Structure 1
Amino acid sequence: MTKELLTPDYIFESSWEVCNKVGGIYTVLSTRANTLQAKFHDRLFFIGPDFWQGKENPLFIESDNLCAAWRKHAAEKDNLSVRVGRWNIPGNPIVILVDFQPFFAQKNDIYTEMWNHYQVDSLHAYGDYDEASMFSYAAGKVVESFYRYNLTETDKVIYQAHEWMTGMGALYLQMAVPEIATIFTTHATSIGRSIAGNDKPLYDYLFAYNGDQMAEELNMQSKHSIEKQTAHHVDCFTTVSEITNNECKELLEKPADVVLMNGFEDDFVPKGATFTGKRKRARAVMLRTANCLLGTDMGDDTLIVGTSGRYEFKNKGINVFLESLNRLNRDKNLKKNILAFINVPGWVGDAREDLQQRLKSKEKFNTPLEVPFITHWLHNMTHDQVLDMLKYMGMSNHPEDKVKVVFVPCYLDGKDGILNKQYYDLILGEDLSVYPSYYEPWGYTPLESVAFHVPTITTDLAGFGLWVNSLKNQHGIDDGVEVLHRSDYNYSEVADGIKDTISAFSMKTDAEVKEIRKRAGQVAEQALWKHFIEYYYEAYDFALRHAMQRQLG
């Protein structure tokens, strides 16, 4: 007999990325909102930082009448400055943006309180620690105020905090309003990311690392401390994949109570004729840009391959992708032209005027522009990791090279001056994508790729890759996703694996490719929120039961 899950009456979720598009957590929250909104309606509240006063935020639609009485009370009685409105995303959930600046005056008292109650060490704070902590504490205060004004202890309330940046608010609520059940979600441990980013071997050696010791060595004591103490004290500790759960066990000395895998919605994937038209236009733009830059005449039979994401050269596997392209270029058996795009925002300057001139004219060009690798100038042309590696490997984008590489170092927001297409309107033009991550708690980029029916190559060090390995009927690129085994020391094998997969894919017939693209879409279907939301309901139940025991105890 399955036990009935306890369901919350109210859910509050706080994150630095509410109405603030910074990274992957924005995708988690904004795509999941619709599914939760359908079930909980306006008993779901997102809390984010308000640094938009006096500035237009297209993601936030302010409302004067939402929670008006409480808002007045919060301002007058609790000294809280909040704006209430709706998030401009599917589901349009209620959002509370809080001005956390006033809390800086109490910073030392807040840190002392956190040390006395939870041994949170804020002594070594630097960088974004203070700002994040003040927002986090303010968010906790907002929920306390809302609870005391609007709710009673018979209401089952969940407070979910995302990442170390919001841990302090969860801990504050456990002290101030013990009736509220707390959930803390880490999307990547700060120490794990730091170890990987500092070129230390993370995986083979994970069992031997001590999180506290590494925090000291890498000057991360305060972030690690809030993350670890929150993980240990909340009612339910969660993370986003089995791979990150291993980190939590070792580095935070606490395994997750529930693993909340990241789903997504495919409502931004065009269908039918719209899809076909967009794909055609994306390919035309990519080929035209490359041909103008390189002075070549690559046609529509060119295999377009791409990678994208944050500019973490090692963690995202950009280095191993470039290595594989270099090896592919030397492969005598390669029959097709390969055009590889690196869509990764760097320290970008202006769009290239010489390239813009060529793109405006109708003619074809047979001479390359100078630096025929890059669409926009960089502020650090002489110290850029992608350009450095291409130079080091001797790749030159010569007309006779079968493999050409184009680096697009800007955000694809539709107005970059060269491609002028949004990211999603461009990636559907690719034939194959490559995300050979070394450090990737989940991996939205390969998941989005297969949602657009673009087969992808990833690794088993990405949460998404591990999940694909757990699916039935998943046997490599023929089923839409190639998951390469990756460890601390097999860089060369991974480069060969990418090279061989691209090479094999380039020989597929049109009928085979059509079938592979269909299967890629089917993988994405299995990761929709309607499947993964169940883990959240499990976490709510776990947290609510734990909070009850905590109060009895």
Structure 2
Amino acid sequence: MAKSKPNPPKAAPVPRKPRPTKSRRAEPLLLEISWEVCNQLGGIYTVLRSKVPSMVTRWSNRYCLIGPYNHDKAQVEFEPAPLVGPIGQTVKQLREMGIGAHFGRWLVTGRPNVVLLEHQSLQNNLSDTKYRLFNDHGISTPTSDGLINDVISFGEATRIFLNTLAEKESHRRDLVAHCHEWMAGPAIPMLRKDNWPGAMVFTTHATILGRYLAMNDNQFYDHLPFFDDVKEAKHYNIEAQHQLERAAAHGSHVFTTVSDVTAEECTHLLGRTPDVLLPNGLNINRFAALHEFQNLHQEYKKRIHQFTMAHFFPSYTFDLDNTLYFYTSGRYEYLNKGMDLTIEALARLNHRLKEAGTPINIVFFLITKAPIHSINVHTLQSRAMLEEFRTTADHIKEQVGQRLFEAAATGTIPDLNTLTDEYYRLRLRRAIHAWKNEALPAIVTHDLIDDQKDPVLNQLRNCNLLNYQHDPVKFIYHPNFITATNPLFGIDYDHFVRGTHLGVFPSYYEPWGYTPLESMALGVPAITSDLSGFGSYLAQLLPDHDEKGIGVVHRRYANYNSAADQLADMMFKYCQLSRRERINMRNTVESFSEHFDWHNLGRRYHEAHELALDRFHA
């Protein structure tokens, strides 16, 4: 690792005349550009989609998102509209130029204008675009990387669209282009070369180099000031992506990121300190359940109880009334998401609960997407047997009820053993006999493709968290999404979260962190870390966050052992709460989540756009 280099000078703004007064010009247009518009891939999709109502409230019909056209996803999320107005007419003009383009509405709350560009139609000119990137900006790109080729052609399609729009509109109104992440970044240096008459904002939600470094260096933050970004990008074979991201950061009038944690990363790895921080929010109304949320917790907890009975009760039973459900979820980044710390803390919690002699049981769910063959056969069989119990019990209940009613009507009290047929008694006995299993309950619900090398499974084995009956902490590793069509749960992810008691997300590398915020919005207390953007925001601006139901594990200046102890302490403290105290905490955390509604945090975006316009006209 090399010594840190001085930050290169910021890109000088193009000299402009003073910003015209609004009385002589129409209101500005805002174009927000991302690879994840109508194209769900990761967290930026959630940012854009949830932010729409706030942006439409401020910008109305002057707000438009731009993304790549994906036929299958467009069939679900996109509704075509007539080619009217300046944006519709620009789409029409692109079509006349031979560039596929679609104008319409994104079918999300707020129904914003959206343009989807068929960037593949520019693949024939890809070599020319790459040459210009190299000749004008020193950015070299590989020839055979399909994603980079798509990103560059999308950047070229965006450049052509914005230049065409500017020819129609820049003389009568201001234009603001806001690009997200390196995959929308190539348009910025190309537009600056064209001297595009508009203001540009670039947001990185996590530097691509930072992700690679954090996954491979357990002292990433200590080493951050000393990395040679050029050398490291070459080492991880991401030179082109890093160069595109760096060019977008330096070419924008306003450079932004989502948290102070990522801002430090940008300063050292991209050579420019962000001008504005844009914390991520949620459309809290989407999660609102008003006074019903406690009833919903009870309803969905019963559904989780059913899974628990199917999974554990063939081997042994425990008191569901004294069972708490904890969970974590997110991309399968074992170290970055703090899965290692979580498992270690659960092992320590298991020991403390046994020492304390508490009647509480914890069932912990780790939900992520990992390579699998299929659902484990025994897991499916247990679930099917539980349904057999329910079907048989329903038949017996109906038969007993009818016969008891008839006997009571005649004035007699019958022998209850005579109220059901031998067939159903035999069926029930057979089901109970087939139900019992001497093996321990599995710690994973699916057959993994590489069971022996899976880091979660290996750590669980090393910590001896194998679902023994005498252990109060049980573990369920669910390497797939939870949806209403999932045969093990039969409920959507949001409903699953509502049925749990505590979310645990002690990330090591997390530019922002939506999962604890979603947990809060669903009325579930959560734990995060000060190395996540969200946790850092809480620690600095809301010192009483613990009282609001949100714990923050100190990982930035603490070693692994002390962080694991602190996390175990937090979970143990929650286990000691009474039922009434847990209900009060759910009330508090659900109310506190309103602080993170986009109608509050969206103001930061408006400040960034205003600053970009001021610098453009400076």
Match for residue 75 of structure 1? 95
- Asked whether the 8 Å contact 1:161–1:183 carries over to 2, the reply is yes
* Correspondence for 1:319 among 340, 344, 361: 340
- Match runs of 1:324-473 below 5 Å: 324-331=345-352, 332-333=355-356, 335=358, 336-352=360-376, 353-362=380-389, 367=437, 372-473=442-543
Partner-residue secondary structure (3-state), 1:362: helix
Deviation at 1:375, TM superposition (A): 2.5
* Correspondence for 1:199 among 210, 214, 217: 217
Match for residue 500 of structure 1? 569
Match for residue 481 of structure 1? 550
Deviation at 1:490, TM superposition (A): 1.5
Deviations 1:228-279 (A, max 9, x none): 1111111111111010000011111100011111111112214245423432
* Correspondence for 2:615 among 534, 546, 549: 546
Match for residue 34 of structure 2? 15
Deviation at 1:33, TM superposition (A): 0.8
Identify if the C-alpha distance between structure 1 residues 122 and 261 changes in structure 2 by more than 3 Å, giving closer, same or farther: same
Return 376-385 or 464-473, whichever deviates more: 376-385
Partner-residue secondary structure (3-state), 1:454: coil
What's the TM-score, normalizing by structure 1? 0.92
* Correspondence for 1:211 among 226, 229, 232: 229
- Match runs of 1:166-181 below 5 Å: 166-176=184-194, 178-181=196-199
For 2:29 and 2:67, how far apart are their aligned partners in 1?
17
Deviation at 1:454, TM superposition (A): 1.1
Partner-residue secondary structure (3-state), 1:10: strand
For 2:139 and 2:268, how far apart are their aligned partners in 1?
19
* Correspondence for 1:142 among 137, 144, 161: 161
For 1:491 and 1:259, how far apart are their aligned partners in 2?
29
* Correspondence for 1:120 among 139, 148, 154: 139
1:289 aligns with 2:307: yes
Identify if the C-alpha distance between structure 1 residues 227 and 70 changes in structure 2 by more than 3 Å, giving closer, same or farther: closer
Larger gyration radius, structure 1 or structure 2: 2
Deviation at 1:21, TM superposition (A): 1.5
Deviations 1:59-97 (A, max 9, x none): 222234555544332211x22201122111110001111
Match for residue 189 of structure 1? 207
**Letter of the 1:337 counterpart:** N
Partner-residue secondary structure (3-state), 2:326: strand
Higher relative contact order (CA 8 A, sep 6+): 2
Partner-residue secondary structure (3-state), 1:316: coil
% same residue: 29
* Correspondence for 2:69 among 22, 35, 50: 50
**Letter of the 1:482 counterpart:** G
Identify if the C-alpha distance between structure 1 residues 534 and 252 changes in structure 2 by more than 3 Å, giving closer, same or farther: same
For 1:4 and 1:538, how far apart are their aligned partners in 2?
18
Deviation at 1:27, TM superposition (A): 1.1
Matched length: 543
For 2:458 and 2:387, how far apart are their aligned partners in 1?
30
Identify if the C-alpha distance between structure 1 residues 359 and 374 changes in structure 2 by more than 3 Å, giving closer, same or farther: farther
For 1:427 and 1:97, how far apart are their aligned partners in 2?
33
Identify if the C-alpha distance between structure 1 residues 371 and 508 changes in structure 2 by more than 3 Å, giving closer, same or farther: closer
Match for residue 88 of structure 1? 107
Deviations 1:377-434 (A, max 9, x none): 3333333222222122222102221000111211123212211211111101111110
* Correspondence for 1:238 among 243, 256, 273: 256
Partner-residue secondary structure (3-state), 2:282: coil
**Letter of the 1:342 counterpart:** L
Q: Kindly indicate which of the two structures has a greater share of residues assigned to helix.
A: 2
Partner-residue secondary structure (3-state), 2:197: coil
What's the TM-score, normalizing by structure 2? 0.83
- Asked whether the 8 Å contact 1:15–1:166 carries over to 2, the reply is yes
- Asked whether the 8 Å contact 1:158–1:540 carries over to 2, the reply is yes
RMSD, matched Cα: 2.4
Q: Which runs of 5+ in 2 are unaligned?
A: 1-18, 391-431
Identify if the C-alpha distance between structure 1 residues 344 and 123 changes in structure 2 by more than 3 Å, giving closer, same or farther: closer
For 2:275 and 2:202, how far apart are their aligned partners in 1?
10
- Match runs of 1:103-118 below 5 Å: 103-118=122-137
Identify if the C-alpha distance between structure 1 residues 165 and 56 changes in structure 2 by more than 3 Å, giving closer, same or farther: closer
Q: Which runs of 5+ in 1 are unaligned?
A: none
For 2:162 and 2:319, how far apart are their aligned partners in 1?
58
Deviation at 1:124, TM superposition (A): 8.2
Partner-residue secondary structure (3-state), 2:519: helix
For 1:490 and 1:127, how far apart are their aligned partners in 2?
41
- Asked whether the 8 Å contact 1:182–1:236 carries over to 2, the reply is yes
Identify if the C-alpha distance between structure 1 residues 487 and 126 changes in structure 2 by more than 3 Å, giving closer, same or farther: farther
Identify if the C-alpha distance between structure 1 residues 328 and 167 changes in structure 2 by more than 3 Å, giving closer, same or farther: same
**Letter of the 2:178 counterpart:** Q
Partner-residue secondary structure (3-state), 1:97: strand
